[in-house]
Structure 1
């Protein structure tokens, strides 16, 4: 245990935090100046974004954004306006009176992303809009405390990507100008960082400098769940943001507000140094079509685009439904008779249910189709072709093997069937009727949207897709996904080794809530990203979290947090 703790009156509970305080009479010891909380929350990029001005003169188009300008000539009904120095690109489709526009940001600490630009006429052949790239942030916190034997121990917290994630604590050693971080198991020095003792700064280099400086917990919103000086959390009706959600007090739709309040207080009370409890970023709940809870933690807010990781695989299934709603044929074979041996007979259903039979297993680092292998290799930038070249191990539909590359191939099928870039389909079909705000899709090296995971979206917008499916594909009276596809994609298709089952892009579980066993279907992703639909309760829940790479931690969201939320729904009268 740490030598000294202070009990912080955190709203809804008490968190235990080590602090730098020491008795005024205790003799100073080497490293005392390192004790306490350190932090940095830099905005790293991208550099270009904000107000955008688009103009057409004949066949020539120009764009001005962020003080930079580019122009290009239309090629058919499309225009590619690339800023100099690879600072970003505006993609246009010009067949409509108001052009369709997307902002493509280059890779930085994130993958390259594309985001929509909603243009408005500004007179003549001029349009205005806003380029809203996915922010590149790397908030980093470090708590250093002294153990009973005098050893300094350091714990990092990084809510954005959970770096370093799998090493709970380091031994910390200080020299005059550096701080060493030693792995406690191997004794190896893993990081040696410059230290300015006069200015009290520890500098890290992640391609850009991250400078840690002393922080109080009030100055570290990404470290603590909720600011400690706030009074205990009390349930509140979500704000109306004119984003398509009807809001309601939970009690008006048959939920126990006091119990919901206790659920949130439990999240607030999580010790930020805990390695066994999930570090939740948002909890958003809808029942009977109304938004009843909308709470955010660890520095996140309602407008933040959260990395959905593999939860966005389900968006590929939903996009397939959009294509079907528009009349596309997607129920046949994924590949024609001329394709390689082992591909004939493979369908969209096999791709979405991880049952293609190809050598593609994300849970096996040695698998040739492993997602990390695909994304790190440079020999084949076309990831559709990469997938197509994988050897066949079993017949399609015979075995389950979690395969991001296969779901990405399903996205390729949808794009081909609709003859549209996936972002255009998503923007045209869902963004308007559902009043979606900003979102981002990450891109493959070829510029195609990657459909295997990593989409960015706000929690409130993600929850809309759960409500869409509760409404059997209808949003506010507008049919967006065929009812038959809603039912088929959420039905059992294949069994998994953990006892659960998969549909087509949805994971299926049965959760126990008191004496009730309730069937759910979910989109879920690394770190604790969940969209969970409970048809029996007319309930949809979104959780986002930051426990990346810690499956045994974030699965407790499904096993403990979600049943606690479900238990707040009043059971039907006998």
Structure 2
């Protein structure tokens, strides 16, 4: 069931970390005999790629000229109307912002987005919000650049077999690289250590990488560079484990989430009709999960809200509330929510808006075939466009992999519009990430504003989301098919917004009608129901059936609402491209979360 939460971006890792990129390291010294047993245990390494451009940003007007300064670099800025832009040399970053009026002070703020350089970890650029305020002068503004950290963490677990050989697996919390660089065994020859794949057909597994062991450091060439692994002593803490050490669950005691200035009210379990003991059982079960194989369930966070109040917030494997997490395809639900918010705000769109007419400036292109004329925004939101795109088919020209890997057409909206129609719109739902991405294009064209600006004004500000990172296409447009990074508490707000019927903190963001329709079973994808880019499923519960809606993303990213219980659950994980990710919604929710409900 790849379509339910599997974001196809993860599948491209196999190509990025192919054997061709696993360059051998020359030992550079005579080989000693070395004992293979020295390799047994846990090893870990981290590479940080930047970005170096971060921190205070100053924009200043001197006479008729505008300049920007960031990270020791000063550059000219351009202003056109209320829009101010600048680009740093060598592709190190760019900025686009709006001079926003402030009551009684004229242009009091600059609200915009920083576009960071392409990341090494996943090959994307990201737009993150920046708000600059006046700083000591009517012509000087200052704010803070907060780019997404570009880093990779690797763990290598090595265990002995009865015959003295070594089995191993590679863990990587950011992308789950071990699923594609399938290390199964190690062999040592002096200073040289070979990382081997599993044997096939009775023959020895191929060499995936050649490492060098010197002075306790195991240097392995992997994605992005050479990682210097160091041995983790048995008594030392490591984020390889859910809570630093194995078997730490018994020491856990429930604690109320802290009240912050992010709009979430908090409560104890007893105040919202939940069992403290049951929640402790859930968290202890996660803490005590054994990480003994590549496919061990890796949960990064669990958050629960009831009656609109956050009641549980726990993180694992070194994740925390101030660290952004990938949402993968769960961010498709952001697209539907943003469209609903835009319609609520007066953007001239509806679910029935003709896609090709809007994208062509209000007129259908000449000689457009009837099926494309019939394509509406709702067809895109329900994955029933009829276009030749299928993320589950590697031969599909509109699959996400095909679109992202081709280089002939940088404009992915144009590419999608040019796909053939292979069925009537609405005839059948087929999971394809360019559908929601094109829906984002319809919105940007109708509103006449970039999608990051629309998201900031219509979603981020009313939901008190101050930090986020939107991934961009080659043309610099926001990719609306998934992959936005959020803080865990913030992304969970989308589920609560739908639960509230479209309001947050008493403020109307999307219409009640849109919230209901978006989370209703409108079509079927595979064996599951689907609304407007929200999944719909059912749980047996105390002799009856509960309907739940959820945003689902590869790796175990889930934000779920269960209206009958007034319950919102957020789960974050690191099992990218591994079917074990489905255990979060299929097992943890029915076996641990639902039994924690003891009253209203």
Name the TM-score, length of structure 2 as normaliser. 0.87
Question: Would you say 1:103 and 2:117 are equivalent positions?
Answer: no
Give the 3-state SS of the residue equivalent to 1:99 in structure 2. Answer: strand
CA distance, structure 2, for counterparts of residue 248 and residue 389 of structure 1: 51
CA distance, structure 2, for counterparts of residue 202 and residue 146 of structure 1: 20
2:556 pairs with one of 493, 511, 528: 528
Give the 3-state SS of the residue equivalent to 2:271 in structure 1. Answer: helix
Give the 3-state SS of the residue equivalent to 1:41 in structure 2. Answer: strand
CA gap of 1:196–1:81, structure 2 versus 1, over 3 A, is same
1:136 pairs with one of 150, 153, 164: 150
CA distance, structure 1, for counterparts of residue 176 and residue 147 of structure 2: 22
CA distance, structure 1, for counterparts of residue 564 and residue 343 of structure 2: 26
Q: Is the 8 A contact 1:178 1:192 kept in 2?
A: no
Question: Would you say 1:43 and 2:48 are equivalent positions?
Answer: yes
TM-superposed deviation, 1:375: 0.4
Q: Is the 8 A contact 1:179 1:202 kept in 2?
A: no
Alignment of 1:550-565 (within 5 A): 550=578, 552-563=579-590, 564-565=592-593
Give the 3-state SS of the residue equivalent to 1:312 in structure 2. Answer: helix
CA gap of 1:507–1:130, structure 2 versus 1, over 3 A, is same
TM-superposed deviation, 1:483: 1.0
CA distance, structure 2, for counterparts of residue 39 and residue 87 of structure 1: 30
TM-superposed deviation, 1:262: 0.4
1:546 aligns to what? 574
CA distance, structure 2, for counterparts of residue 132 and residue 526 of structure 1: 25
2:130 aligns to what? 117
2:565 aligns to what? 537
Question: Would you say 1:201 and 2:190 are equivalent positions?
Answer: no
Question: Would you say 1:171 and 2:185 are equivalent positions?
Answer: yes
TM-superposed deviation, 1:143: 1.0
CA gap of 1:192–1:467, structure 2 versus 1, over 3 A, is closer
1:335 pairs with one of 356, 363, 380: 356
Question: Would you say 1:321 and 2:340 are equivalent positions?
Answer: yes
Alignment of 1:351-430 (within 5 A): 351-430=380-459
The unaligned stretches of length 5 or more in structure 1 are 1-27
TM-superposed deviation, 1:439: 0.4
2:8 aligns to what? none
1:462 aligns to what? 491
TM-superposed deviation, 1:29: 7.7
TM-superposed deviation, 1:202: 2.1
Question: Would you say 1:227 and 2:244 are equivalent positions?
Answer: yes
2:12 aligns to what? none
Moved over 4 A (4+): 166-169, 217-220
CA gap of 1:60–1:188, structure 2 versus 1, over 3 A, is farther
Q: Is the 8 A contact 1:286 1:540 kept in 2?
A: yes
CA gap of 1:219–1:53, structure 2 versus 1, over 3 A, is farther
Give the 3-state SS of the residue equivalent to 1:452 in structure 2. Answer: coil
CA distance, structure 2, for counterparts of residue 304 and residue 373 of structure 1: 31
Alignment of 1:469-508 (within 5 A): 469-498=498-527, 500-508=528-536
1:24 aligns to what? none
CA gap of 1:29–1:175, structure 2 versus 1, over 3 A, is closer
CA distance, structure 2, for counterparts of residue 320 and residue 436 of structure 1: 17
TM-superposed deviation, 1:168: 6.0
CA distance, structure 1, for counterparts of residue 429 and residue 507 of structure 2: 35
CA gap of 1:59–1:480, structure 2 versus 1, over 3 A, is farther
CA gap of 1:511–1:168, structure 2 versus 1, over 3 A, is farther
Structure with bigger RCO (C-alpha 8 Å, 6+ apart): 2
Name the TM-score, length of structure 1 as normaliser. 0.91
RMSD: 1.8
Question: Would you say 1:214 and 2:231 are equivalent positions?
Answer: yes
CA distance, structure 2, for counterparts of residue 462 and residue 525 of structure 1: 12
Give the 3-state SS of the residue equivalent to 1:567 in structure 2. Answer: helix
TM-superposed deviation, 1:298: 0.5
Give the 3-state SS of the residue equivalent to 2:319 in structure 1. Answer: coil
Alignment of 1:264-279 (within 5 A): 264-279=283-298
Q: Is the 8 A contact 1:217 1:227 kept in 2?
A: no
1:294 pairs with one of 309, 313, 316: 313
